[in-house]
Amino acid sequence: MINTLLLPELREMIANGDDDGLREFASALHPARAAEFMEGLSAHEAWQVLRASDAAKQAEIFGFLPDAVQVEIVETVAPRETSPLVADLPADDRVDLISDVHPDVAEEVIPLLPAAERRETLQLLEFPEGTAGSVMTTEVARLDASLTVHEALEEIARQSQDLETVYYNYIVDDENRLQGLISARQLVTHFGKSDTPIADLMQRDVVSVKATDDQETVAAKVANFDFIAIPVVDDQHHLLGIITHDDIIDVLREEATEDAHMAAAVDPLDDSYLATHWFTLAWKRGMWLGILFFAALLTALALQKYETDFQRVSWLVLFIPLVISSGGNSGSQSATLVITAMTNGDVTLSDWWRVVKRELLMGICLGGMLAAAGYVCAIWMLNDYRPDGSNVVEMFEQPSSVDMLVVPITLVAVVICGTLCGGMLPMLFRWLGLDPALMSNPFVAGIIDIAGIVIYMNVAVLMLETLESSG
């Protein structure tokens, strides 16, 4: 969402070297809004705007610039100038940025960070992407259980400069083990009785996550509990950091986008659609298109096997796309329903039998509906069917209404096959420890395509032979 309202003015001020004007622009607006207005600028221009302001403002606005612009600024401006901005970022964003810039630049920037930030950055870089550790920040208020409400507020005010949030504050023992939680809400509510010990107010059964937990699981936990933040601990329950609501929202959006891409057979992108290099995009799409192509090739081989049948009963060809797409559509409906239900925590592996029953019923019901429609259409289309080529060997001059039962029978079978495969494949993936969203839809489509052809032809051969021998 590029807001181009102030772009001409900004560009003019940059061209004229009007640093006072630029400083005023930066100080008058919420940093997020200033960053929004700057989105149309190149990284070089954005840096001209930033450098006009004081260090604190620079850092605030820099934090709201899109990732790609941050990366470009750090890669093109002297590390000596950008390292204060990088140091000032919340630890989680700083680590993301440093992982994204060219390794050579990262190597120059890291030594320029203040000792505490440097240590923290190197420590967080250790956590693999996608884990709770990789999205957490270490800047969390740690309080001693012996404080009163008044003392706690004073202590938080003192620490607040370095904190990502003051809303959830954690009570730890001498060895940094998590003991309890006191929210700013509880502190503010007890503002009138400010000599109350926080030990009397703190919540002891604190919901936490492990640093190695999957970020998707963490996001689901925070969303279910309506938390603003969740503490991250190690195996010995030492407090390592917290993950805040804004990171959770980022994780949820990222995962939703990834799931959508995987469902459409695109390998998840690291950047946005327009920011991704076309070659990367071609690779991430082409790879899966190629795999699906070879799956589709199997349908060609299956068809080849039945080719003589097609020549004998040429009208069968007409319904190939209809059969395949009905199976594919009902299968992808089932797969998507089960994947989203698992993502939202509504369906677990233990529900598998309920899913089977549901999808079987659905397959019979939807397949029956399509079969009825298909039969009517087949009769209508083939009513005065007489292929042109009069010297073509035909089993039938015109298919009888009994012959045409091939179409509805196949449709019921293919749709049931689609709903069952679609419902079960994502659960099978989860059971194998894989992400259920991983290619389930294209997989289902591939399986159904081949199954559709095989079912169609077997039903046709069986029925028509039976009729032939009995006729």
Select from 18-26, 48-56, 103-111, 158-166 the region that touches a second copy (CB under 8 A). 158-166
* Contact criterion met (CB below 8 Å) for 427 and 338: yes
Binding of a second copy at residue 352 (CB under 8 A)?
Answer: no
**What one-character DSSP code corresponds to residue 17?**
T
Q: In the complex, what is the shortest distance from the CB of residue 351 to a second copy, in angstroms, rounded to a whole number?
A: 7
Q: Which residue, 76 or 304, has its beta carbon nearer to a second copy?
A: 304
Binding of a second copy at residue 445 (CB under 8 A)?
Answer: yes
CB-side exposure of 453: number of CA atoms within 13 Å?
21
Q: In the complex, what is the shortest distance from the CB of residue 72 to a second copy, in angstroms, rounded to a whole number?
A: 16
Contacts of 101 (CB under 8 A, 6+ apart): 71, 74, 75, 109
Select from 51-59, 70-78, 101-109, 165-173 the region that touches a second copy (CB under 8 A). 165-173
**10, 59, 86, 265: residue in contact with a second copy (rule CB under 8 A):** 265
Give the type of residue at 10.
L
Binding of a second copy at residue 2 (CB under 8 A)?
Answer: yes
Select from 13-21, 73-81, 102-110, 263-271 the region that touches a second copy (CB under 8 A). 263-271
Name the one residue in this structure whose structure tokens are 């099978």. Answer: 428
Q: Which residue, 209 or 222, has its beta carbon nearer to a second copy?
A: 222
Give the type of residue at 290.
G
Name the one residue in this structure whose structure tokens are 């199997």. Answer: 298
* Contact criterion met (CB below 8 Å) for 191 and 150: no
C-alpha 417/C-alpha 424 separation (Å) is 11
Please give the residues from 373 up to 432 whose contact with a second copy meets the rule CB under 8 A.
373-374, 377, 381, 387-389, 391-393
* Contact criterion met (CB below 8 Å) for 158 and 225: no
* Contact criterion met (CB below 8 Å) for 367 and 409: no
Binding of a second copy at residue 372 (CB under 8 A)?
Answer: no
Select from 15-23, 30-38, 69-77, 460-468 the region that touches a second copy (CB under 8 A). 30-38
C-alpha 184/C-alpha 172 separation (Å) is 16
**242, 263, 420, 460: residue in contact with a second copy (rule CB under 8 A):** 263
Give the chain's largest Cα–Cα span: 103
C-alpha 210/C-alpha 136 separation (Å) is 11
Contacts of 370 (CB under 8 A, 6+ apart): 326, 411, 412, 415
Binding of a second copy at residue 253 (CB under 8 A)?
Answer: yes
Question: What b/e readout covers 270-306, taking b as 16+ CB neighbours within 10 angstroms?
Answer: eeeeeeeeeeebeebbeebeeebeebeeebeebbeeb
CB-side exposure of 361: number of CA atoms within 13 Å?
6
Closest CA to 92 of 121, 130, 66, 57: 121
Q: Which residue, 56 or 297, has its beta carbon nearer to a second copy?
A: 297
Please work out the total of residues on this chain that contact a second copy, with binding judged by CB under 8 A. Answer: 132
Q: In the complex, what is the shortest distance from the CB of residue 469 to a second copy, in angstroms, rounded to a whole number?
A: 20
Give the type of residue at 404.
M
Please give the residues from 275 up to 294 whose contact with a second copy meets the rule CB under 8 A.
275, 278, 281-282, 285-286, 288-290, 292-293
Binding of a second copy at residue 94 (CB under 8 A)?
Answer: no
Q: Which residue, 177 or 185, has its beta carbon nearer to a second copy?
A: 185
Closest CA to 436 of 216, 254, 129, 128: 216
**1, 78, 115, 432: residue in contact with a second copy (rule CB under 8 A):** 1
Please give the residues from 98 up to 117 whose contact with a second copy meets the rule CB under 8 A.
none
Q: Which residue, 36 or 48, has its beta carbon nearer to a second copy?
A: 36
Sheet of strand 168-172, all strands in order from the earlier edge strand to the far edge:
142-143, 168-172, 178-183
Binding of a second copy at residue 366 (CB under 8 A)?
Answer: yes
Q: Which residue, 207 or 434, has its beta carbon nearer to a second copy?
A: 207
Binding of a second copy at residue 458 (CB under 8 A)?
Answer: no
Binding of a second copy at residue 119 (CB under 8 A)?
Answer: no
Binding of a second copy at residue 319 (CB under 8 A)?
Answer: yes
Q: Which residue, 32 or 122, has its beta carbon nearer to a second copy?
A: 32
Binding of a second copy at residue 218 (CB under 8 A)?
Answer: no
Question: 226's torsion region: left (phi>0), alpha (psi -120 to 50) or beta?
Answer: left
Closest CA to 359 of 337, 340, 326, 374: 337
Q: Which residue, 109 or 447, has its beta carbon nearer to a second copy?
A: 447
Binding of a second copy at residue 151 (CB under 8 A)?
Answer: no
Q: In the complex, what is the shortest distance from the CB of residue 86 to a second copy, in angstroms, rounded to a whole number?
A: 18
Binding of a second copy at residue 344 (CB under 8 A)?
Answer: yes
Please give the residues from 167 up to 196 whose contact with a second copy meets the rule CB under 8 A.
167, 184-185, 187-192
Q: In the complex, what is the shortest distance from the CB of residue 119 to a second copy, in angstroms, rounded to a whole number?
A: 25
Q: Which residue, 109 or 232, has its beta carbon nearer to a second copy?
A: 232
**104, 174, 195, 226: residue in contact with a second copy (rule CB under 8 A):** 226
Binding of a second copy at residue 449 (CB under 8 A)?
Answer: yes
Q: Which residues pair with 182 in a beta bridge?
A: 169
Q: Which residue, 46 or 109, has its beta carbon nearer to a second copy?
A: 46
Neighbours of 465 (CB within 10 A): 12
